[in-house]
């Protein structure tokens, strides 16, 4: 293009009749081409990818062409004092070469995108040191889309220092003037090189809507010790003229498992056209069940909760999303048997999702009678009322803490399971009782995640009870989807009466690894910026949770993500008498008697051993600072 541009400039200047002999043009044309080859390589014009051409590339072309013409004039002055080169030729050459270099690139981009709107983004003149430096992680196509859509290219607030291609196929090229620096596997080396050049990024920007958990964890492990935040470009519309918005990668992204294939038709069939009641509708699980049930067009939706504000909040949310849905928000306490019987008898729901419970282990341990009255007596009230009203099914939300429980909370949930099992196999009634057991959900009320978030915002320390404590985790949405899936499966299979449905929770997560991950997501360095302290197990806690008892027969179901367990069954009359005695002790406020009665009904209940004794408060050893993030 440089040789052609110089020849055309001479032709435009002299015309075809007066053009100097070609032998006289050979040296200046070759010199101009060689100068251009060197200058263009220095300016990296060959690294740009045409499909991502923009005004950033045009600016580079203008600067490189100007430099080429200047160097050429100096060279030719030294060679032949600019013989046969009129003053107008350099200017014409400059213009023609820009057209020849930029024209095909921009034309290709216009054809690909169907317009000129993408060819914007001149770099602002503001000081780079005031900008947030970003390193984009994703394919070249995704990086281009992100920079173009959200104005990251040459923005006043952000400086994109490079792109790490998740496929690693275009190293050495550039997109909108931003170099592709390598693959995710080479990220550590890329960061070292950027740091040496004074371009250490403040944040990573993940371009894909949902990267694989393994890749996100690898990125987090590299970001954590360097204090680099991990973000993605928000999908929400930006205010006119406002800066692009970045949102943090969440724990759901890092700890969420591969999505389970859901049988949406069966889930809709479970709910559509039926009256559905959700107890504990304002809680973490109850509110998400409410959202998902509402989306499947129930005939009527009943939201029941004892907490006024939480009930109001979920009721308003449903009203805004589905204003035409017939619904009722009802303040009621599941421990009030008369009220529950009257409510269920009047509304006659087809399906009841029973999510109301006290679930915080230390609080229930300190308030034993209240835990029993809600988790045991409340569950019995709802279950018995469902039978009396002829409900088609009741779905009881249980917990992994019901397995060989060391806490009152876990034992009360196991007693509730036993009661529902007994009703499910009772030949004297037709209501199905489907018990669904799973572990912790990320971000639920009273869980460790909000606590860690608060401690990180306060500058630490983050308190972990024990370095070896592990828990199963699942996102709230994933858990509730599988609850509906398990409920639909249970109603369709009579052979599973009396069995307990257990959700596939994946692998357990170390709580200390969870703490490190959250600190890294906040752009801080574990054990350096934010200390981690061990405080010892609290009353009723154990190091490891289980989803199945060792004596339970377990098997997979035809429904992905759902297993069934076959714990021992208890006669309905026997468990009813036991609950009567437990309720009597609870209303008398007799904690020791309650514990003894729970031990009678749940003989596998474990007495807390030495592992539950508090550990001395201690900080994480320095050697553990580089421990991998889960």
Quote the CA–CA distance of 616 and 512 in Å, as a whole number. Answer: 16
Comparison of pLDDT for 254 and 87, the residue scoring more: 87
Match 């499909």 to its residue by tokens: 51
Supply the pLDDT for residue 208: 67
pLDDT band at 542 (very low <50, low <70, confident <90, very high): low
Six-digit token string for 103: 């024209």
Supply the pLDDT for residue 394: 94
Quote the CA–CA distance of 153 and 171 in Å, as a whole number. Answer: 19
Q: What are the helix (H) ranges across 138-259?
A: 140-150, 187-196, 213-223, 251-255
A 10 A CB-CB count for 202 gives 17
pLDDT band at 113 (very low <50, low <70, confident <90, very high): low
Q: In what order do the strands lie in the sheet with 618-619?
A: 462-464, 532-534, 618-619
Mean pLDDT calculated for residue range 346-360: 94
pLDDT band at 125 (very low <50, low <70, confident <90, very high): very low
Domain of 212, CATH number, reads: 3.40.50.720
Q: 82 and 136, same structural domain? A: no
In a domain? residue 577 = yes
Quote the CA–CA distance of 630 and 518 in Å, as a whole number. Answer: 11
Comparison of pLDDT for 398 and 260, the residue scoring more: 398
Whether 152 and 158 have beta carbons less than 8 Å apart is answered as: yes
Q: pLDDT at residue 259 above 90?
A: no
In a domain? residue 259 = no
pLDDT band at 378 (very low <50, low <70, confident <90, very high): very high
In a domain? residue 625 = no
pLDDT band at 77 (very low <50, low <70, confident <90, very high): confident
Range of weakest confidence among 100-114, 324-338, 467-481: 100-114
Supply the pLDDT for residue 323: 92
In a domain? residue 621 = no
Q: 229 and 346, same structural domain? A: no
Q: 292 and 365, same structural domain? A: yes
In a domain? residue 122 = no
Q: Which of 156-165, 292-301, 438-447 has the highest mean pLDDT?
A: 292-301
Match 């690894």 to its residue by tokens: 513
Comparison of pLDDT for 432 and 22, the residue scoring more: 432
Q: 291 and 355, same structural domain? A: yes
Quote the CA–CA distance of 132 and 160 in Å, as a whole number. Answer: 8
**Which residue among 208, 223, 249 closes a domain?**
249
Output phi, psi for 24, to 5 deg. -75, -20
pLDDT in tens, 200-224: 888 888 876 555 566 777 787 788 7
| Distances in whole angstroms, Cα of residue 507 to Cα of each of 216, 395, 470 | 17, 25, 10
Supply the pLDDT for residue 494: 74
Q: pLDDT at residue 628 above 60?
A: no
Q: pLDDT at residue 384 above 90?
A: yes
pLDDT in tens, 502-515: 877 667 778 888 88
Comparison of pLDDT for 333 and 7, the residue scoring more: 333
pLDDT band at 314 (very low <50, low <70, confident <90, very high): very high
> What is the helix (H) or strand (E) element at residue 476, kind and residue range?
helix 476-492
Q: 341 and 236, same structural domain? A: no
pLDDT band at 76 (very low <50, low <70, confident <90, very high): confident
Overall domain count for the chain: 3
Instruction: Look over the chain and give the mean of its residue pLDDT values, rounded to a whole number.
Output: 79
In a domain? residue 346 = yes
Match 């009567």 to its residue by tokens: 580
Q: 231 and 132, same structural domain? A: yes
Q: 190 and 72, same structural domain? A: no
Q: What whole-number percentage of the chain has pLDDT above 70? A: 76
Closest by CA position to 91, among listed 5, 187, 201: 5
Mean pLDDT calculated for residue range 172-176: 74
Comparison of pLDDT for 99 and 121, the residue scoring more: 99
Q: 186 and 47, same structural domain? A: no
Comparison of pLDDT for 277 and 104, the residue scoring more: 277
In a domain? residue 317 = yes
Q: pLDDT at residue 150 above 70?
A: no
Q: 369 and 283, same structural domain? A: yes
User: Structural domain of residue 605, as residue ranges?
Assistant: 264-439+485-505+548-612
Supply the pLDDT for residue 121: 39
pLDDT in tens, 233-256: 665 444 334 445 666 666 666 665
Q: 576 and 552, same structural domain? A: yes
Q: 159 and 98, same structural domain? A: no
pLDDT band at 63 (very low <50, low <70, confident <90, very high): confident
Q: 571 and 424, same structural domain? A: yes
Q: What whole-number percentage of the chain has pLDDT above 90? A: 26
Q: pLDDT at residue 308 above 90?
A: yes
Quote the CA–CA distance of 272 and 431 in Å, as a whole number. Answer: 18
pLDDT band at 172 (very low <50, low <70, confident <90, very high): low
pTM over cut 0.85: no
In a domain? residue 626 = no
Supply the pLDDT for residue 414: 92
pLDDT in tens, 6-56: 888 877 877 777 777 777 778 888 888 898 888 888 877 776 666 566 666
Q: Which of 165-169, 275-279, 625-629 has the highest mean pLDDT?
A: 275-279
Q: pLDDT at residue 610 above 70?
A: no
């Amino acid at each position: 293009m440089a040789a052609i541009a110089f020849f055309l400039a001479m032709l435009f200047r002299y015309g075809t009749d007066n053009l100097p002999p070609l032998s006289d043009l050979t040296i200046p044309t070759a010199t101009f081409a060689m100068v251009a080859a060197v200058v263009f390589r220095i300016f990296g014009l060959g690294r740009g990818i045409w499909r991502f051409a923009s005004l950033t590339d045009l600016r580079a072309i203008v600067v490189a062409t100007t430099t080429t013409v200047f160097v050429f004039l100096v060279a030719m002055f030294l060679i032949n004092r600019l013989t046969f080169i009129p003053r107008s030729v350099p200017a014409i050459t400059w213009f023609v070469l820009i057209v020849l270099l930029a024209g095909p690139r921009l034309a290709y981009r216009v054809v690909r995108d169907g317009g000129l709107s993408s060819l914007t983004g001149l770099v602002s003149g503001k000081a780079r040191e005031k900008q947030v430096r970003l390193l984009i992680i994703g394919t070249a196509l995704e990086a281009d889309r992100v920079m173009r859509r959200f104005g990251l290219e040459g923005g006043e607030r952000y400086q994109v220092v490079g792109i790490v291609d998740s496929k690693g196929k275009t190293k050495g090229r550039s997109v909108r003037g931003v170099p592709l620096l390598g693959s995710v596997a080479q990220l550590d080396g890329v960061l070292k090189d950027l740091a040496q050049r004074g371009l250490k990024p403040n944040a990573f920007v993940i371009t894909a809507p949902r990267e694989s958990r393994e890749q996100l964890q690898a990125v987090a492990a590299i970001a954590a010790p360097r204090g680099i935040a991990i973000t993605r470009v928000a999908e929400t519309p930006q205010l006119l003229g406002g800066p692009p918005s970045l949102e943090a990668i969440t724990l759901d992204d890092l700890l969420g498992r591969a999505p389970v294939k859901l049988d949406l038709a069966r889930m809709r069939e479970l709910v559509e056209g039926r009256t559905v009641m959700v107890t504990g509708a304002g809680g973490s699980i109850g509110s998400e069940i409410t959202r998902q049930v509402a989306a499947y067009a129930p005939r009527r939706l009943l939201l029941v909760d004892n907490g006024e504000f939480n009930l109001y909040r979920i009721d308003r949310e449903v009203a805004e999303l589905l204003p035409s849905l017939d619904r009722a928000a009802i303040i009621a306490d599941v421990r009030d048997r008369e009220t529950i019987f009257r409510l269920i008898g009047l509304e006659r729901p087809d399906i009841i999702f029973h999510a109301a419970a006290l679930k915080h282990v230390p609080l229930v341990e300190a308030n034993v009678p209240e835990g029993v009255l809600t988790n045991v007596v409340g569950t019995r009230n709802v279950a018995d009322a469902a039978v009396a009203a002829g409900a088609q099914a009741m779905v009881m939300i249980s917990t992994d803490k019901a397995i060989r429980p060391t806490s009152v909370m876990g034992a009360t949930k196991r007693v509730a399971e036993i009661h529902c099992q007994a009703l499910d196999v009772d030949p004297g009634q037709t209501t199905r009782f489907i018990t669904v057991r799973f572990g912790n959900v990320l971000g639920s009320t009273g869980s460790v995640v909000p606590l860690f978030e608060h401690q990180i915002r306060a500058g630490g320390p983050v308190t972990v009870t024990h370095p070896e404590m592990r828990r199963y985790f699942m996102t709230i949405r994933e858990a509730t989807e599988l609850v509906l899936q398990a409920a639909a499966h249970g109603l369709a299979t009579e052979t599973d009466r009396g069995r307990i449905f257990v959700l596939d929770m994946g692998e357990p997560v170390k709580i200390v690894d969870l703490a490190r991950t959250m600190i890294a997501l906040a752009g801080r360095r574990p054990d350096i910026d934010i200390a981690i302290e061990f405080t010892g197990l609290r009353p009723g806690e154990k190091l490891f949770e289980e989803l199945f008892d060792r004596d339970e027969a377990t098997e997979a179901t035809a429904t992905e993500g759902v297993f069934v367990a076959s714990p021992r069954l208890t006669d309905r009359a026997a468990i009813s008498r036991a609950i009567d005695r437990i309720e009597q002790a609870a209303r008398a406020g007799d904690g020791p008697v309650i514990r003894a009665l729970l031990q009678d009904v749940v003989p596998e209940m474990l007495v807390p051993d030495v592992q539950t004794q508090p550990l001395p408060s201690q900080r994480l050893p320095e050697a553990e600072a580089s421990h991998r993030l889960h």
